[in-house]
Each structure stands twice: as C-alpha cells, then as structure tokens.
Amino acid sequence: MSVDLSYETDKDHVIRTLKQTLRKNKVDWPCVMDPKGWLSVAYRFNLDGYSLTLVGPDGIVRGVNLQVEDVKRLLPTVVSRSK
C-alpha cells in the first residue's frame, strides 16, 4: 500500500488511519509509504506518473490502476489468500 502524504495537511491522522486499516484487514506484509510524498519517489525512480497498485504478500500484482473502492473490494480476498 502506498500513500502520498505530500497532499495531506494532517499527516499524523493519515498515518493513524492507514495503520488502523492495515490492522483491520490483517495486512501483515510490508507496505510502503514515503513521508516526503510523490515527488521524492518520482525523483528517486525517474517516474512521470503512477497509479494505485495492489500487490499481495506473495509478490503477485492483484490490481493496477485501482480506485479506492476497488482496493476495499479486493483487499479481503488478497488477505485471505495469504493465510
């Protein structure tokens, strides 16, 4: 899971909410968040755009170009496959 904090005014709230969501959905594999936001990632990896991508704990990409509702729908299935 990736979160771009550069657009947020209350970064602490976003981090707390993200951690709660991960616990609620029993996501126990590594998640990525760059506190410096998208520009830091773009510079580091020479990117010119990005999309929301869901990768399971097995490293298999489960969805690309997702909307938030897609993630909410797919995440329980991805988590159950990891058990």
Q: How do residues 18-75 score in pLDDT, each as one tens digit?
A: 888 888 888 888 777 666 666 676 667 666 666 678 888 888 888 888 887 888 888 8
H/E stretch holding 36 reads none
* Mean pLDDT for the stretch of residues 3-19: 74
Going by their DSSP bridges, the two strands 54-55 and 61-63 should be labelled as antiparallel
Say which DSSP state 68 is in.
Answer: H
* Mean pLDDT for the stretch of residues 5-10: 68
Measure the CA angle with vertex 44, ends 51 and 39; round to 5°: 60
